[in-house]
Amino acid sequence: SIMPATLAAVSNGAKRGILFKGGVHLEHLGSLQAIAFDKTGTLTTGKPVVTDFFVRSKADRTQALSLLASIEAQSNHPLALAIVNYAQEHGLTTRGIEHIEDVPGFGIRAVVDEQEILVGNPRFVGAQETKDFHQGIIHELYEDGKTVVFIKDSQGILAAVALKDTLRPEAVQAIQDLRQLGIQSIMLTGDNEKTAHAIAKEAGLDRYVANCLPEMKVEQMKGLLKEYGNVGMVGDGINDAPALATATSGIAMGEGTDVALETADVILMQNDLTKISYAVKVSKKMQRVVK
Protein backbone atom coordinates (compact mmCIF):
# COMPACT_ATOMS: atom_id res chain seq x y z
CA SER A 1 0.00 0.00 0.00
CA ILE A 2 1.19 3.50 -0.77
CA MET A 3 2.28 5.71 2.15
CA PRO A 4 0.47 9.05 2.53
CA ALA A 5 3.88 10.81 2.44
CA THR A 6 4.63 9.17 -0.91
CA LEU A 7 1.25 10.15 -2.29
CA ALA A 8 1.77 13.78 -1.29
CA ALA A 9 5.27 13.81 -2.78
CA VAL A 10 4.08 12.27 -6.06
CA SER A 11 1.34 14.85 -6.43
CA ASN A 12 3.78 17.63 -5.54
CA GLY A 13 6.15 16.34 -8.20
CA ALA A 14 3.40 16.48 -10.81
CA LYS A 15 2.83 20.16 -9.96
CA ARG A 16 6.52 20.76 -10.62
CA GLY A 17 6.52 18.93 -13.93
CA ILE A 18 7.82 15.53 -12.77
CA LEU A 19 5.45 12.69 -13.52
CA PHE A 20 5.94 9.49 -11.51
CA LYS A 21 4.16 6.40 -12.80
CA GLY A 22 3.67 5.17 -9.23
CA GLY A 23 5.08 5.93 -5.79
CA VAL A 24 7.68 3.16 -5.99
CA HIS A 25 9.50 5.08 -8.73
CA LEU A 26 9.88 8.11 -6.50
CA GLU A 27 11.29 5.81 -3.81
CA HIS A 28 13.86 4.35 -6.24
CA LEU A 29 15.32 7.75 -7.16
CA GLY A 30 16.78 8.27 -3.69
CA SER A 31 18.83 5.08 -4.02
CA LEU A 32 20.66 5.98 -7.26
CA GLN A 33 24.46 5.98 -7.26
CA ALA A 34 24.85 6.94 -10.90
CA ILE A 35 22.78 8.23 -13.81
CA ALA A 36 23.41 7.57 -17.50
CA PHE A 37 22.33 10.21 -20.00
CA ASP A 38 21.72 9.88 -23.71
CA LYS A 39 23.36 12.79 -25.60
CA THR A 40 21.22 13.96 -28.51
CA GLY A 41 17.86 15.31 -27.36
CA THR A 42 18.64 14.64 -23.70
CA LEU A 43 21.79 16.54 -22.67
CA THR A 44 21.46 18.61 -25.85
CA THR A 45 18.37 20.23 -27.31
CA GLY A 46 18.44 17.69 -30.15
CA LYS A 47 18.10 20.46 -32.72
CA PRO A 48 21.49 20.60 -34.40
CA VAL A 49 22.32 23.20 -37.02
CA VAL A 50 24.70 22.91 -39.96
CA THR A 51 27.87 24.97 -39.45
CA ASP A 52 30.18 23.82 -42.28
CA PHE A 53 29.90 22.07 -45.62
CA PHE A 54 32.89 20.75 -47.61
CA VAL A 55 33.02 18.97 -50.96
CA ARG A 56 35.93 17.10 -52.59
CA SER A 57 37.95 19.03 -55.15
CA LYS A 58 36.24 19.49 -58.52
CA ALA A 59 32.85 18.44 -57.14
CA ASP A 60 29.87 20.77 -57.55
CA ARG A 61 28.75 22.09 -54.12
CA THR A 62 25.13 22.59 -55.13
CA GLN A 63 24.80 19.16 -56.69
CA ALA A 64 26.45 17.47 -53.72
CA LEU A 65 24.24 19.27 -51.20
CA SER A 66 21.14 18.58 -53.25
CA LEU A 67 21.90 14.84 -53.38
CA LEU A 68 22.68 14.72 -49.66
CA ALA A 69 19.48 16.58 -48.73
CA SER A 70 17.38 14.39 -51.03
CA ILE A 71 18.62 11.30 -49.20
CA GLU A 72 18.26 12.85 -45.72
CA ALA A 73 14.72 13.98 -46.61
CA GLN A 74 13.76 10.29 -46.21
CA SER A 75 14.99 10.11 -42.62
CA ASN A 76 13.57 11.67 -39.46
CA HIS A 77 16.85 11.63 -37.55
CA PRO A 78 17.54 15.09 -35.98
CA LEU A 79 20.74 15.37 -38.09
CA ALA A 80 18.73 14.66 -41.24
CA LEU A 81 16.18 17.39 -40.47
CA ALA A 82 18.98 19.92 -39.94
CA ILE A 83 20.62 19.02 -43.26
CA VAL A 84 17.35 19.32 -45.17
CA ASN A 85 16.70 22.74 -43.56
CA TYR A 86 20.18 23.89 -44.53
CA ALA A 87 19.64 22.86 -48.15
CA GLN A 88 16.29 24.64 -48.24
CA GLU A 89 17.89 27.81 -46.83
CA HIS A 90 20.24 27.63 -49.82
CA GLY A 91 17.27 27.51 -52.16
CA LEU A 92 17.59 23.83 -53.01
CA THR A 93 14.71 21.47 -53.56
CA THR A 94 14.92 17.76 -52.87
CA ARG A 95 14.08 15.02 -55.31
CA GLY A 96 12.54 11.63 -54.63
CA ILE A 97 15.01 8.81 -53.94
CA GLU A 98 13.62 5.34 -54.46
CA HIS A 99 15.97 2.96 -52.70
CA ILE A 100 16.70 3.95 -49.14
CA GLU A 101 17.68 1.85 -46.17
CA ASP A 102 17.91 3.32 -42.66
CA VAL A 103 20.85 1.86 -40.72
CA PRO A 104 20.28 2.89 -37.07
CA GLY A 105 23.39 4.22 -35.35
CA PHE A 106 25.21 4.57 -38.67
CA GLY A 107 23.23 6.46 -41.31
CA ILE A 108 21.46 5.73 -44.58
CA ARG A 109 22.24 3.56 -47.58
CA ALA A 110 20.69 4.74 -50.84
CA VAL A 111 20.80 3.73 -54.48
CA VAL A 112 20.66 6.73 -56.84
CA ASP A 113 20.98 6.31 -60.62
CA GLU A 114 22.22 2.74 -60.00
CA GLN A 115 25.02 4.01 -57.78
CA GLU A 116 25.29 3.10 -54.11
CA ILE A 117 25.48 6.18 -51.89
CA LEU A 118 26.26 6.04 -48.18
CA VAL A 119 25.37 8.88 -45.81
CA GLY A 120 26.45 8.72 -42.19
CA ASN A 121 29.31 8.56 -39.72
CA PRO A 122 32.95 7.52 -40.33
CA ARG A 123 32.35 3.95 -39.15
CA PHE A 124 29.69 3.65 -41.83
CA VAL A 125 31.41 5.27 -44.81
CA GLY A 126 34.99 4.19 -43.93
CA ALA A 127 37.00 5.73 -41.09
CA GLN A 128 40.32 6.00 -42.94
CA GLU A 129 38.81 7.79 -45.92
CA THR A 130 37.13 10.36 -43.67
CA LYS A 131 40.48 11.05 -41.96
CA ASP A 132 42.10 11.76 -45.33
CA PHE A 133 39.29 14.09 -46.43
CA HIS A 134 40.47 17.76 -46.32
CA GLN A 135 43.32 16.73 -44.00
CA GLY A 136 43.02 18.12 -40.52
CA ILE A 137 39.80 20.04 -40.97
CA ILE A 138 37.55 17.22 -39.82
CA HIS A 139 39.68 16.77 -36.70
CA GLU A 140 39.16 20.43 -35.75
CA LEU A 141 35.40 20.10 -36.18
CA TYR A 142 35.36 17.20 -33.71
CA GLU A 143 37.41 19.20 -31.21
CA ASP A 144 34.64 21.82 -31.32
CA GLY A 145 32.13 19.13 -30.32
CA LYS A 146 30.57 19.02 -33.77
CA THR A 147 29.12 15.92 -35.41
CA VAL A 148 30.22 15.29 -38.99
CA VAL A 149 28.07 13.47 -41.52
CA PHE A 150 29.72 12.16 -44.69
CA ILE A 151 28.34 11.29 -48.09
CA LYS A 152 30.21 8.72 -50.15
CA ASP A 153 29.70 7.68 -53.76
CA SER A 154 31.59 5.22 -55.99
CA GLN A 155 34.54 7.64 -56.19
CA GLY A 156 34.91 8.02 -52.42
CA ILE A 157 33.92 10.78 -50.01
CA LEU A 158 31.93 13.40 -51.92
CA ALA A 159 31.18 15.83 -49.10
CA ALA A 160 31.13 16.35 -45.36
CA VAL A 161 28.69 18.40 -43.34
CA ALA A 162 29.38 19.52 -39.77
CA LEU A 163 26.56 20.06 -37.31
CA LYS A 164 26.54 21.54 -33.85
CA ASP A 165 23.94 20.68 -31.28
CA THR A 166 23.66 22.86 -28.19
CA LEU A 167 23.70 21.70 -24.60
CA ARG A 168 20.44 22.31 -22.79
CA PRO A 169 20.96 25.54 -20.82
CA GLU A 170 20.52 23.81 -17.46
CA ALA A 171 22.64 20.72 -18.22
CA VAL A 172 25.82 21.87 -16.42
CA GLN A 173 23.86 22.86 -13.30
CA ALA A 174 21.91 19.59 -13.33
CA ILE A 175 25.11 17.51 -13.42
CA GLN A 176 26.70 19.61 -10.65
CA ASP A 177 23.64 19.20 -8.42
CA LEU A 178 23.73 15.43 -8.90
CA ARG A 179 27.42 15.31 -8.03
CA GLN A 180 26.69 17.13 -4.77
CA LEU A 181 24.19 14.40 -3.99
CA GLY A 182 26.96 11.83 -4.58
CA ILE A 183 25.55 10.72 -7.94
CA GLN A 184 27.94 10.14 -10.88
CA SER A 185 26.79 11.16 -14.36
CA ILE A 186 27.72 9.19 -17.46
CA MET A 187 26.91 9.97 -21.11
CA LEU A 188 26.04 7.24 -23.62
CA THR A 189 26.23 8.36 -27.24
CA GLY A 190 26.35 6.95 -30.73
CA ASP A 191 28.61 9.82 -31.71
CA ASN A 192 32.38 9.40 -32.12
CA GLU A 193 35.05 9.60 -29.43
CA LYS A 194 36.28 13.16 -30.07
CA THR A 195 32.82 14.75 -30.32
CA ALA A 196 31.68 12.83 -27.24
CA HIS A 197 34.76 14.02 -25.35
CA ALA A 198 34.10 17.68 -26.23
CA ILE A 199 30.42 17.53 -25.22
CA ALA A 200 31.18 15.60 -22.00
CA LYS A 201 33.74 18.26 -21.05
CA GLU A 202 31.27 21.05 -21.79
CA ALA A 203 28.62 19.39 -19.63
CA GLY A 204 31.03 18.56 -16.80
CA LEU A 205 30.41 14.83 -16.99
CA ASP A 206 32.37 12.23 -15.05
CA ARG A 207 32.39 9.59 -17.77
CA TYR A 208 31.14 8.90 -21.27
CA VAL A 209 30.85 6.01 -23.68
CA ALA A 210 31.20 6.94 -27.38
CA ASN A 211 30.34 4.85 -30.47
CA CYS A 212 27.45 3.37 -28.50
CA LEU A 213 25.19 1.59 -30.99
CA PRO A 214 21.47 1.50 -30.15
CA GLU A 215 21.63 -2.13 -28.95
CA MET A 216 24.77 -1.36 -26.93
CA LYS A 217 23.05 1.13 -24.62
CA VAL A 218 21.25 -1.64 -22.75
CA GLU A 219 24.51 -3.64 -22.43
CA GLN A 220 26.23 -0.55 -21.05
CA MET A 221 23.37 -0.13 -18.58
CA LYS A 222 23.75 -3.73 -17.37
CA GLY A 223 27.46 -3.07 -16.81
CA LEU A 224 26.75 0.13 -14.88
CA LEU A 225 24.20 -1.67 -12.68
CA LYS A 226 26.87 -4.23 -11.76
CA GLU A 227 29.37 -1.48 -11.08
CA TYR A 228 27.22 1.00 -9.14
CA GLY A 229 24.21 -0.94 -7.86
CA ASN A 230 21.33 1.42 -8.59
CA VAL A 231 21.56 3.41 -11.80
CA GLY A 232 19.12 5.77 -13.53
CA MET A 233 18.85 6.31 -17.28
CA VAL A 234 17.66 9.53 -18.91
CA GLY A 235 16.71 9.41 -22.58
CA ASP A 236 14.35 10.58 -25.29
CA GLY A 237 14.62 8.22 -28.24
CA ILE A 238 13.30 4.84 -29.39
CA ASN A 239 16.95 3.73 -29.12
CA ASP A 240 16.93 4.53 -25.41
CA ALA A 241 13.83 2.49 -24.53
CA PRO A 242 15.57 -0.84 -23.72
CA ALA A 243 18.07 0.94 -21.44
CA LEU A 244 15.24 2.92 -19.79
CA ALA A 245 13.49 -0.38 -19.04
CA THR A 246 16.68 -1.98 -17.65
CA ALA A 247 17.72 0.92 -15.38
CA THR A 248 16.68 1.16 -11.72
CA SER A 249 14.87 4.37 -12.72
CA GLY A 250 14.00 5.07 -16.35
CA ILE A 251 13.56 8.81 -16.89
CA ALA A 252 12.20 10.21 -20.18
CA MET A 253 12.28 13.72 -21.54
CA GLY A 254 8.72 15.10 -22.02
CA GLU A 255 9.39 15.84 -25.69
CA GLY A 256 10.77 12.33 -26.22
CA THR A 257 9.30 9.73 -28.56
CA ASP A 258 6.18 7.80 -27.53
CA VAL A 259 8.15 4.61 -26.91
CA ALA A 260 10.51 6.39 -24.48
CA LEU A 261 7.56 7.97 -22.64
CA GLU A 262 5.75 4.62 -22.39
CA THR A 263 8.81 2.75 -21.14
CA ALA A 264 10.02 5.28 -18.55
CA ASP A 265 9.08 5.29 -14.84
CA VAL A 266 9.46 9.04 -14.53
CA ILE A 267 8.81 11.80 -17.10
CA LEU A 268 10.38 15.27 -17.06
CA MET A 269 7.36 17.10 -18.47
CA GLN A 270 9.23 20.35 -19.26
CA ASN A 271 12.49 18.64 -20.33
CA ASP A 272 14.17 20.31 -17.34
CA LEU A 273 17.19 18.24 -16.23
CA THR A 274 17.50 20.06 -12.88
CA LYS A 275 14.24 18.38 -11.83
CA ILE A 276 16.15 15.11 -11.46
CA SER A 277 18.20 16.25 -8.46
CA TYR A 278 15.11 17.88 -7.00
CA ALA A 279 13.24 14.57 -7.18
CA VAL A 280 16.22 12.68 -5.72
CA LYS A 281 16.21 15.06 -2.73
CA VAL A 282 12.47 14.59 -2.19
CA SER A 283 12.95 10.83 -2.36
CA LYS A 284 15.80 10.87 0.18
CA LYS A 285 13.78 13.07 2.54
CA MET A 286 10.88 10.62 2.27
CA GLN A 287 13.12 7.65 3.07
CA ARG A 288 14.15 9.41 6.29
CA VAL A 289 10.50 10.08 7.22
CA VAL A 290 9.50 6.45 6.59
CA LYS A 291 12.45 5.11 8.60
257 binds, among Mg ion, ligand ADP, none (CB under 5 to 8 A by kind): none
CB 36 within 8 A of CB 220: yes
Give me the residue whose beta carbon is nearest to ligand ADP.
Answer: 190
Of Mg ion, ligand ADP, none, which one does residue 77 interact with (CB within 5 to 8 Å by kind)?
ligand ADP
Instruction: Answer yes or no whether residue 145 interacts with ligand ADP by CB under 6 A.
Output: no
Rule CB under 5 A: is residue 236 a binding residue for Mg ion?
Answer: yes
By CB under 5 A, is residue 256 in contact with Mg ion? no
**Using the rule CB under 5 A, is 153 a contact of Mg ion?**
no
Give whichever of 77 and 275 is closer to ligand ADP, judged by the CB atom: 77
Min separation Cβ 15 and ligand ADP, Å:
31
Q: What is the CA radius of gyration of the chain?
A: 21
Single residue of 18, 34, 36, 121 touching ligand ADP by CB under 6 A: 121
Write the interaction track for Mg ion spanning residues 37-66; mark x where CB under 5 A is met and - where it is not: -x-xx-------------------------
How far apart are the C-alpha atoms of 67 and 108, rounded to whole Å? 13
By CB under 5 A, tell whether 237 contacts Mg ion. Answer: yes
In the complex, the smallest distance separating the C-beta of residue 54 from Mg ion, rounded to whole angstroms, is 26
| 135 touches 157 (CB < 8 A) | no
Contact region for Mg ion (CB under 5 A) — 30-38, 175-183, 209-217, 222-230? 30-38
Reply yes or no on whether 52 is catalytic. no
Give the binding-site size for ligand ADP (rule: CB under 6 A).
Answer: 21
Which residues of this protein are in contact with ligand ADP, per CB under 6 A?
39-40, 72, 75, 77, 79-80, 105-108, 119-121, 147, 149, 189-191, 214, 239
Active site residues: 38
Which residues of this protein are in contact with Mg ion, per CB under 5 A?
38, 40-41, 236-237
